[in-house]
């Protein structure tokens, strides 16, 4: 009986193997079914529904690799996707397919022409549990080609992202290129090196590289650096505090105008709007920071230190109050006693309008008992400053000025009030 029993056991095992082989062969003959199985594993680990409409292909030798077309990723219960992509490649070890570990372990992700809904992405990130299992490990990183990130009032276009490795306990480094599109025709091209001490809440993050702001008739190339601790939660991203520096050059119709800009304060992104409040700002002309305090220089850019708030989204808001160290020598000279080159000029600046800075700017200035308030458009004022170096025309401002006493050679005016109206009635 024992030989028969052993033979029956062997036959049963062989039949089970044949059945498993048949099932495996049936699955391998249907790449779409295998793709849904693998993507279901990834989706379960991330709390997402991952589907596709196009064809699928796979490779099982070595590390399994799956490629699908027309990918869509949704939060369960949400009718609109967080992400769409024309092509997606996922490479993951057999252990992930078999065991569904936490944290999820993948090898590599590649996305072609993805479109990311930023508010939905932030809402999903806010639901992720804290700790190392919130996001997957990517031993060979990720890449994005021709991507888009959509937010209210702005979007990233032509995004190229290379991420060599991603792990919860490892430093992060990436290279990002693309364009930030704001109010047409304003756009910002960027080529940045990104880094973080680790991909976790509160980690130190930095960006370094080149920006080029472009608009009809002018451009502003810049080299920028930014750093600070990165926080996420409640549907927002924050860098608190942000330290930002830029060495830039305004290129318009006249000669280029170089300047340096520094910003400091808590930066927040929520519902597609960036806010920096309270903000500290420092503006300098080319080389002003190295000049002695009694040297006015010949720059058109004033030396300004200010505090206030900045918000950028569908529109731009700038509200700053501070002091101009001295009246720039490149500007038309002020009459005595306003031409005091030692005392600072108190300033208050407000802009609320289109993100391309084409709207009106309001500026208030005071030195001693003299006060002035004016409104105009930034690029018209820049054109005037260029012309003022030649023939000193009236500035394109609607302005009022008051001074208790103004001295000219051979004359003294007291109780002076001046109103200025542009020729075109702006």
Per-residue DSSP letters for 38-68? HHHHHHHHHT-EEEE-S-EEEE-SSS-EEEE
Give the per-residue pLDDT at 95. 72
Select the more confidently predicted residue: 212 or 302.
Answer: 212
At 386, the pLDDT band (50, 70, 90 cuts) reads low
Give the per-residue pLDDT at 12. 46
Select the more confidently predicted residue: 9 or 93.
Answer: 93
Select the more confidently predicted residue: 240 or 32.
Answer: 240
> Is 295 a residue whose pLDDT tops 50?
no
Give the per-residue pLDDT at 65. 83
Nearest one of 164, 216, 157, 209 to 185, comparing CA atoms: 216
At 191, the pLDDT band (50, 70, 90 cuts) reads very high
> Is 28 a residue whose pLDDT tops 50?
no
Give the per-residue pLDDT at 113. 96
Torsion of CA 21, 25, 27, 30, to 10 degrees: 180
> Is 302 a residue whose pLDDT tops 60?
yes
**Pair 237, 269: CB distance under 8 Å:** yes
Select the more confidently predicted residue: 171 or 423.
Answer: 171
* Long-range pairs, 105-110, Cβ under 8 A, ≥24: 105/136, 105/137, 105/139, 106/42, 106/136, 106/137, 106/138, 106/139, 107/63, 107/138, 107/139, 107/140, 108/138, 108/139, 108/140, 108/141, 108/142, 109/138, 109/142, 109/143, 110/142, 110/143, 110/144, 110/145
Percent of the chain with pLDDT over 90: 34
> Is 10 a residue whose pLDDT tops 70?
no
**Maximum Cα–Cα distance for the chain, whole Å?**
133
Give the per-residue pLDDT at 163. 93
Give the per-residue pLDDT at 385. 64
Average pLDDT over residues 26-52: 73
> Is 53 a residue whose pLDDT tops 80?
yes
Select the more confidently predicted residue: 417 or 43.
Answer: 43
Nearest one of 191, 212, 184 to 355, comparing CA atoms: 184
Lowest mean pLDDT among 214-228, 241-255, 369-383: 369-383
At 344, the pLDDT band (50, 70, 90 cuts) reads confident
- In this prediction the pTM is 0.78
Give the per-residue pLDDT at 73. 92
Select the more confidently predicted residue: 338 or 93.
Answer: 93
Give the per-residue pLDDT at 293. 41
At 3, the pLDDT band (50, 70, 90 cuts) reads low
> Is 174 a residue whose pLDDT tops 80?
yes
Task: State the average pLDDT for the chain.
Answer: 79
Helices (H) then strands (E): counts for the chain? 5, 24
> Is 21 a residue whose pLDDT tops 50?
no
Percent of the chain with pLDDT over 70: 75
> Is 230 a residue whose pLDDT tops 80?
yes
> Is 27 a residue whose pLDDT tops 50?
no
Locate 90 and state its tokens: 């996922």
**86-144 pLDDT tens trace:** 999 988 887 766 666 566 788 899 999 999 998 888 888 777 776 655 678 888 999 99
At 226, the pLDDT band (50, 70, 90 cuts) reads very high
At 283, the pLDDT band (50, 70, 90 cuts) reads very high
At 190, the pLDDT band (50, 70, 90 cuts) reads very high
């Amino acid at each position: 009986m024992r030989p028969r029993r052993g033979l029956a056991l062997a036959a049963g095992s062989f039949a089970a193997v044949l059945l498993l082989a048949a099932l495996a062969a049936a699955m391998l003959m249907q790449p779409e079914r295998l793709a849904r199985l693998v993507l279901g594993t990834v989706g379960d680990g991330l709390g997402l529904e991952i589907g596709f409409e196009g064809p699928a292909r796979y490779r099982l030798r070595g590390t399994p690799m799956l490629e699908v077309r027309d990918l869509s990723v949704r939060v369960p219960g949400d009718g609109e996707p967080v992400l769409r992509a024309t092509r997606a490649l996922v490479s993951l070890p057999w252990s992930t397919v078999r065991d569904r570990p936490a944290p999820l372990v993948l090898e590599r992700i590649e996305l072609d022409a993805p479109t990311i809904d930023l508010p939905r992405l932030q809402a999903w990130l806010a639901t992720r549990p804290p700790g190392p299992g919130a996001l997957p490990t990517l031993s060979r990183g990720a890449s994005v080609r021709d991507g888009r990130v959509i937010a209210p009032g702005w979007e990233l276009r032509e995004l190229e992202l290379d991420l060599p490795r991603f792990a919860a306990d490892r430093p992060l480094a990436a290279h990002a290129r693309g364009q930030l599109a704001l109010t047409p025709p304003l756009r910002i091209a960027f080529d940045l090196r990104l880094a973080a001490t680790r991909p976790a809440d509160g980690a130190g993050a930095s960006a370094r590289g080149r920006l080029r702001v472009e608009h009809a008739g002018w451009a502003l190339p810049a080299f920028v650096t930014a750093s600070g601790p990165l926080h996420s939660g409640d549907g927002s991203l924050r860098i608190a505090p942000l330290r930002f520096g830029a060495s830039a050059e305004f290129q318009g119709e006249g000669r280029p105008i170089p300047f340096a800009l520094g910003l400091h304060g808590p930066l927040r992104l929520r519902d597609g709007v960036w806010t920096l409040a309270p903000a500290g700002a420092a503006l300098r002309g080319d080389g002003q920071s190295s000049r002695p305090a009694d040297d006015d220089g010949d720059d058109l850019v004033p030396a300004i230190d200010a505090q206030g708030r900045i918000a950028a989204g569908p529109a731009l808001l700038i509200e700053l109050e501070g002091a101009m160290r001295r009246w720039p020598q490149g500007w038309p000279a002020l009459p005595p006693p306003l031409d005091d080159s030692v005392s600072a000029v108190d300033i208050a600046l407000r802009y609320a309008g289109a993100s391309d800075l084409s709207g009106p700017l309001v500026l208030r200035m005071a030195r001693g008992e003299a006060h002035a308030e004016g409104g105009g458009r930034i690029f018209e004022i820049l054109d005037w400053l260029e012309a003022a170096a030649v023939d000193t025309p009236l500035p394109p401002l609607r302005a009022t000025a008051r001074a208790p006493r103004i001295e000219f050679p051979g004359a003294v005016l007291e109780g002076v009030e001046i109103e200025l109206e542009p020729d075109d009635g702006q």
